[in-house]
Amino acid sequence: MAMMTKEEYVSSLKGLDHRVFVLGEEIESVVDHPVSRPPAMAMAETYRQAELEETGTQFTTRSNITGDMINRFTHIQHSLEDLTKKIIMLREMGRKTARCFQRCAGLDCMNTLYAVTYDIDQAFGTPYHGRFVDFMEHIQSNDLVSAACMTDSKGDRGLSPSEQADKDQYVHIVEEKKGGIVVRGAKLHITGAVNSHELIVVPTRALSEKDRDYAVAFAIPAETDGVTYIYGRQPSDTRRLEESPSDVGNLYYGGCEAMVVFDDVFVPEERIFMKGEFSFAGPLVELFAAHHRASYGGCKVGVGDVLIGATAAIAEAQGTHRSAHVKDKLAEMVHLNETLHAGALASAGKGYKTASGAYAVDPLLANVCKLNVTRFPFDIARMAQDIAGGILVTMPSLKDRENPHIGPYVKKYLVGKDGVDSEKRIRILRLIENITLGTGAVSYMTESIHGAGSPQAQKIMITRLADLESAKAMAFHLCGI
């Protein structure tokens, strides 16, 4: 089979029969609802880039499983070069969409399971790796999107899964049946869930023996019975519902997360990749975290590129681009953005080969990368708003510009330097607003903090991965102890 085109992907979403609620109402098709369409179109862009001549080679590669050319978003990385190319592809996608395009969590999760199922099989003689390779063949051959479902609702964070008053606060096995298992629980913040063909479910934390029923990993089709999707609300999301949605800022793309509820869902045996091997939950989470934290030094950097570009553009439109402080702030924005990218590239460059043959990034540098991602976008956003000016949040709607009575005022008084049309000026400003305060801020700001794990999670990993013992030994030697 071949890779899907963008159009085929969009059709495939229309064809999905899954239960999705948006703003309190069930919807028919995610690509036909104005709120959920832009996120689907961001995902669709991962297909289109693979089609294009100029980016196609970057977005495709030969599968080590099927031997066919596949979309790189479905590829198991098998070299340091693969790791680096993924980071660069993610930046490119960030530049194209200025948004979370939702396909990398699944990619990182597949790379994780490829390695971890191998390790589990080595330890316990289980058949998971082979099953998972079969699953990958299905994904690659059909060019499907799979969503990574990791974060549980968690209940009381001070208690382990099995200690919760409500046992369903973590997804778990409620019944073993012939040919499969039945699971229950809810996964939160699931990126791209409603735009995916398959859901991959994995544990969200290290587990101990008494949490055995929670040590479960599997994949199911998105339409599986018992699965419900509740779409997450975003700032300014309903601008897309307005009659003339000119104030949306980013005209084409969105990002989305959903709460995914598993209400006694059946999982067939061939789709189970972990069942009770609790000691591998921790390693799975850490490997996924490393992969995904490095990813953030790709995608967010691409969004940063767009924000920097918009900021440079508004400075020119408003005639402030030659001020020393504006130039200095733009250089600082670039500096911070590239520092994020450097973290990801370095983690790829220092990657290693896992026992399965798949490659993984250096975990210390991946965590360092992500910890910077939790910080710098706020600084970059602050500087973007600084250069944009207060008009960013006080300007009229583009609807006012279209009004016959006051439109002329808007056109006259919001004109830019050298006759830059007020519409152009407002559109750039709306894009900056979108990324720093609107639907795009979900991707660029809050998600930069929490996606792939919160800052404290990175601090903990950095503490564990830092080699303080050898550093102390050096210090002792130098001062004569």
- Kindly identify the residues of this chain, within the stretch 348-407, that bind a copy of itself according to CB under 8 A: 348-350, 364-365, 368-369, 371-372, 374-375, 378-379, 381-382, 385-386, 389-397, 399-400, 402-403, 405-406
What's phi and psi for 404, nearest 5 deg? -65, -30
Q: How far is the CB of 304 from a copy of itself (least distance, A)?
A: 9
End-to-end CA distance of the chain: 66
Does residue 49 interact with a copy of itself by CB under 8 A? no
**Does residue 277 carry a catalytic annotation?**
no
**Does residue 296 carry a catalytic annotation?**
yes
For residue 375 the two structure tokens come to: 């910080």
> DSSP code of 5?
P
Q: Which of 296, 311, 369, 436 is catalytic?
A: 296
Q: Which of 257, 277, 286, 433 is catalytic?
A: 257
**Does residue 117 carry a catalytic annotation?**
no
Q: How far is the CB of 65 from a copy of itself (least distance, A)?
A: 27
Pairing of strands 146-149, 216-221: unpaired
DSSP string for residues in 116-163: HHHHHHHHH--SHHHHHHHHHHHHHHHT--EEEE--B--SSTTS-GGG
Does residue 235 interact with a copy of itself by CB under 8 A? yes
Among 56, 127, 245, 455, binds a copy of itself (CB under 8 A): 455
* CA dihedral of residues 393, 398, 404, 410 (deg, nearest 10): 40
Output the CA–CA distances (angstroms, integers) from residue 142 to 2, 7, 69, 426, in the order listed.
Answer: 7, 14, 12, 42
**Does residue 149 carry a catalytic annotation?**
no
Among 207, 259, 274, 299, binds a copy of itself (CB under 8 A): 259
Q: How far is the CB of 150 from a copy of itself (least distance, A)?
A: 12
Touching a copy of itself, residues 290-349 (CB under 8 A): 305-310, 312-313, 318-320, 323-325, 327-328, 330-332, 334-335, 338-339, 341-343, 345-349
**Does residue 8 carry a catalytic annotation?**
no
Does residue 233 interact with a copy of itself by CB under 8 A? yes
Touching a copy of itself, residues 14-43 (CB under 8 A): 21, 23-26
For residue 336 the two structure tokens come to: 């911070």
Q: Which CB sits closer to a copy of itself, 75 or 187?
A: 187
Output the CA–CA distances (angstroms, integers) from residue 181 to 204, 282, 299, 408, in the order listed.
Answer: 19, 22, 36, 66
For residue 436 the two structure tokens come to: 């720093």
Q: How far is the CB of 213 from a copy of itself (least distance, A)?
A: 18
Site string for a copy of itself, 189-208 (x = CB under 8 A): x-------------------
Q: How far is the CB of 155 from a copy of itself (least distance, A)?
A: 7
**Does residue 479 carry a catalytic annotation?**
no
Q: Of the candidates 438, 411, 431, 430, which has an alpha carbon nearest to the alpha carbon of residue 422?
A: 411
For residue 175 the two structure tokens come to: 């019944």
Output the CA–CA distances (angstroms, integers) from residue 257 to 110, 139, 149, 331, in the order listed.
Answer: 19, 21, 11, 33
Among 168, 211, 277, 286, binds a copy of itself (CB under 8 A): 168
List the beta bridge partners of residue 176.
Answer: 181
Q: Which of 46, 61, 126, 191 is catalytic?
A: 191
Q: Which CB sits closer to a copy of itself, 208 or 320?
A: 320
For residue 224 the two structure tokens come to: 């599986």
Touching a copy of itself, residues 131-160 (CB under 8 A): 151, 153, 155-158
Q: Which of 172, 291, 292, 341 is catalytic?
A: 292
Rounded CA-CA distance 67/1 in Å is: 12
Size of the site for a copy of itself (CB under 8 A): 150
Output the CA–CA distances (angstroms, integers) from residue 9 to 12, 130, 142, 228, in the order listed.
Answer: 5, 27, 10, 21
**Does residue 191 carry a catalytic annotation?**
yes
Does residue 95 interact with a copy of itself by CB under 8 A? yes
User: What is the set of active-site residues?
Assistant: 100, 104, 191, 257, 292, 296, 299, 447
